[in-house]
């Protein structure tokens, strides 16, 4: 009788393990699935974006929610130029982390600002210095329309101080390979999928804090 009970327990335990196994496997794979979903194709964009294979993005540069202790209020964007990371503060010790690329203009800005304007698929006008330096930029003195070849990418958030434009931007890029790096030009650039996500979270007036080394 005891042998029969032990055998029955073994059968039930094995059956329970087999039932739980798919749930366990699904749980293990959910993080990877969500990461790829973050970079899925966006066919409804004005200029549709293709899916970005997750294995093309370094794990530390992928958008993800992380633990983040800070005194900044929820809704604040914190840009750490040295670490090449940006954080959207959620509150309660959490934030959404993004990988960013930092250009020379980005390294010249530090401290507090706020988003004074937002634009989808923004136009771009080279600075006067760029126009003086190179003929190709002088040809764009009237501005370059938004689109897949525009260096500001899919979205731009314009940083202001005291009611004035600082000429510092958080924007997308048509050079996703530059994320995580220091670049020779530009402000703070993000992958187009990531800048679309951040853009959807913030409103005009949101606080931005830029941390330099």
Task: Give catalytic residues, as residue numbers.
Answer: 171, 187
Supply the DSSP string of 43-97, one letter for each residue.
TTSSS-B----GGGS-GGGS-EEEE---SSPTT-EEEETTTTEEEEEEETTEEEE
Tell me how many degrees the CA angle 198-204-207 measures, rounded to the nearest 5: 75
- Helix, strand, coil percentages for the chain (3-state, nearest 5): 30, 30, 40
Count of helix runs (H) and strand runs (E) in the chain: 4, 10
């Amino acid at each position: 009788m005891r042998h029969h009970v032990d055998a029955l327990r073994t059968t039930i335990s094995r059956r329970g393990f087999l039932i739980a196994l798919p749930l366990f496997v699904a749980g293990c794979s959910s993080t990877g699935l969500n990461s790829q979903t973050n970079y899925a194709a966006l066919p409804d964009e004005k200029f549709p974006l293709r899916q970005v294979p997750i294995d093309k993005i370094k794990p530390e540069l992928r958008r993800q929610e992380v633990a983040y202790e800070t005194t900044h209020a929820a809704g604040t964007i914190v840009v750490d130029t040295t670490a090449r990371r940006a954080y959207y503060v959620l509150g309660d010790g959490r934030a959404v982390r993004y990988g960013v690329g930092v250009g020379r203009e980005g390294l010249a800005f530090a401290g507090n600002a706020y988003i004074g304007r937002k634009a989808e698929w923004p136009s771009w006008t080279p600075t006067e210095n760029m126009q003086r330096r190179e003929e190709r930029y002088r040809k764009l003195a009237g501005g370059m329309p938004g689109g897949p070849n525009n260096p500001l990418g899919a979205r731009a958030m314009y940083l202001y101080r005291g009611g004035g434009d600082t000429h510092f931007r958080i924007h997308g890029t048509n050079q996703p390979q530059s994320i995580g790096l220091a670049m020779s030009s530009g402000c703070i650039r993000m992958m187009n999928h990531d800048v679309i996500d951040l853009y959807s979270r913030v409103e005009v007036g949101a606080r931005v804090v830029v941390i330099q080394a």
